[in-house]
Amino acid sequence: MKKTGIVLCVIAALGTCFWVWINTPSEDHETTQSHTMQASRTVSGLNKSTSTILPTITEPDKPFIVNSTTCEAFEINANTIMREHFRSYSPEDYLQEGFSVDDVTVLLDSRHTNQAIMWRDQTRLQESELDTINQYIHEFIKEHFPELLTSFDVMGGKASLNTERRAAPDWLRKAVKQGEQFEVPIWDEMLPDDVAWLIKQNDVADKAIKQAVMLLDDINATISVDGSIRNEVNILDAALREGRSDLGFWLLSMNAEPLQDDYTGGALDNGLYGLEKLYGAYRGHESEDALSKLQMQVRLIDELASLGQFAHAGIEIRFDGEEGYASYRGVRNPYFISIDEINGISELTGLNVIGLPAANRMASPRGEELLALDRERLDSRLNEVNDGQFNSRMTSCVQFARNLENSWSPEHFSGIRNSSLSDFELFALAPELVACRRKERHTWHVLHHPYAEKEGGRAFSRILDDDPGKAQEMLFGEPAAIDYTFYAVLEYKADALSGLLNVGLVPEQLDYSARFNASFSLLAEQGFDLYQLDKYGRSLLYVAAAAWLPEQMTYLSEREVPY
């Protein structure tokens, strides 16, 4: 690799940093070094088995008096000990004790699925080319410019430098934007992370991606777990996930190897994830092109099955009662294909999704043993600072909270909003309740109507999962949920607004009572007409003024948006 060239290209930037550093007053150096040493101590202490035991809640020989202050301190202390315990025993510690990767995965999964996925990925992907390059850069700086490391924040034991190589560098983005051939600078090289990024760009053709693939040293090289691409192991995974089945077949012909993992899934799971997206896109448009892509993805899935790949999935019933073919807990790209979708895919392509070869859930010989050991160690620490009475104290505090709740049970405001009391009667209780109920009822009518919460929430979840085609399909089938989804996108995911605007999934009448968390410049970029009024005749400038947002008011005024 051209590691030396990559390092040389950042020396100029480091020279600037060095000049700034040597011209900084010495007291700043001391302060920075102090903060850095403190951060280093914090980082280095994460994986040690020793820890500082917190003081007991009560003084020796004094009883544990159950009240709100004591129970609050008890809860804070217990949570602190739990966090400290999770940091004290690193996964590597358990591996050294003889437990397997699968055993440790079971333990981490019991805490949080994403934690298990990230650790398992780091274990398998730590030798990626991008990680290797950045480690080389770090070691070069450490050797030749050690004094600079004290002037940067320390994260995870590595200096957080702007000189790190990232996926899709500027020269690649520029070539894509201008539609040019990829000309790799002499000091850089094409990495699998770059190709994975290209695959995710809808406006980049397969032909250009193939050109980039041919510039790789290894078509099966792994993608960095620390990079901006986190959902695939190699570029074949990326093609499968994005539904680029033509490219997937070509990669297989170029000896790309499909991979699978007992916990995070594999190539066939990525293929099913892409299939779900493509089927949603077809249902939203039902074009010949969408059908052709769907059928090609099915052929690629059949090919993967013939190569010995398994789906890490099975029949499940979700919390809302819907039955479908769902990926196991821990699969990196989770999917859920409902029974209706399974039947629809079968009618269009002949694929029996349920009939695909499926793997059993990951088995861990000593997983339960490790869970019990971890719990025993945690209980020991909790009891050590609670005079051996952690469980009894916890029970007492829980019962205290329940008794308090039962003895003082204020009426929820939702009951007031829907009560039969007149405004005059409500005013007699408290004048503020009248204003609150009127405001709540107004917001309720804006955003809530039959099925809006359920269907709109499901559609919005698809948008959050970067599956707009599926969301559009759901909204076309349930128009009553359009308003709910539209305002949810405005508030929480404004960068996905164009997907709704482009297909006409907008409220018949806008209501600016909804909240606007995004800047109006972002809404304009998404195609939102800043000059339109809502059904009450209010403009966005009125919204900005009412919320007292000076910068937004200036932005709208400069564009002559009416008040």
What CA–CA distance (Å, rounded) separates 475 from 497? 14
pLDDT for 29: 40
Of the residues 487, 507, 527, the one at which a domain ends: 507
pLDDT for 514: 67
Q: Sign of dihedral through CA atoms 495, 501, 503, 505?
A: positive
Do residues 258 and 360 both lie within one domain?
Answer: yes
pLDDT for 99: 95
pLDDT for 56: 45
Predicted model pTM: 0.62
pLDDT for 250: 98
Do residues 302 and 250 both lie within one domain?
Answer: yes
Of the residues 314, 332, 365, the one at which a domain ends: 365
pLDDT for 459: 76
Kindly state whether residue 132 falls inside one of the protein's structural domains: no
Do residues 278 and 341 both lie within one domain?
Answer: yes
Kindly state whether residue 174 falls inside one of the protein's structural domains: yes
Alpha-carbon radius of gyration of the chain:
29
Kindly state whether residue 328 falls inside one of the protein's structural domains: yes
Do residues 297 and 252 both lie within one domain?
Answer: yes
Do residues 498 and 541 both lie within one domain?
Answer: no
Could you tell me which residues come within 8 angstroms of residue 476 by beta carbon, excluding any fewer than 6 positions away?
284, 505
Of the residues 492, 507, 522, the one at which a domain ends: 507
Do residues 249 and 289 both lie within one domain?
Answer: yes
Overall number of domains in the chain: 4
Kindly state whether residue 532 falls inside one of the protein's structural domains: yes
Q: Sign of dihedral through CA atoms 94, 99, 101, 102?
A: negative
pLDDT for 326: 93
Kindly state whether residue 151 falls inside one of the protein's structural domains: no
Do residues 540 and 550 both lie within one domain?
Answer: yes
Do residues 254 and 357 both lie within one domain?
Answer: yes
Do residues 251 and 361 both lie within one domain?
Answer: yes
In this structure, which amino acid lies at residue 307? Answer: L
Kindly state whether residue 273 falls inside one of the protein's structural domains: yes
pLDDT for 197: 92
pLDDT for 27: 44
Kindly state whether residue 458 falls inside one of the protein's structural domains: yes
Do residues 195 and 220 both lie within one domain?
Answer: yes
Question: Is the Cβ–Cβ distance between 293 and 201 less than 8 Å?
Answer: no
Do residues 468 and 491 both lie within one domain?
Answer: yes
What is the residue-level pLDDT of the chain in tens, covering all 563 positions?
555 555 555 554 555 444 444 444 444 444 433 333 333 333 333 333 333 444 444 455 567 888 888 888 899 999 999 988 888 888 999 999 999 999 999 999 998 888 898 888 876 666 788 878 877 877 887 788 776 665 444 444 444 445 677 888 889 999 998 888 898 999 899 999 999 999 999 889 999 999 999 999 999 998 886 544 467 899 999 999 999 999 999 999 999 999 999 999 999 999 999 999 999 889 877 889 999 999 999 999 999 999 999 999 999 988 778 899 999 999 988 999 999 999 999 999 999 999 999 999 998 989 999 999 999 999 999 998 888 899 999 999 999 888 877 776 666 555 665 667 777 787 787 776 776 766 665 554 444 444 445 556 677 777 776 777 778 877 777 777 788 888 888 877 888 888 888 888 888 888 887 666 667 888 888 888 888 888 878 888 888 887 777 777 888 888 888 87
Structural domain of 559: 509-563
Do residues 211 and 264 both lie within one domain?
Answer: no
pLDDT for 562: 83
Kindly state whether residue 93 falls inside one of the protein's structural domains: no
Helices (H), 307-412: 339-349, 367-384, 390-407
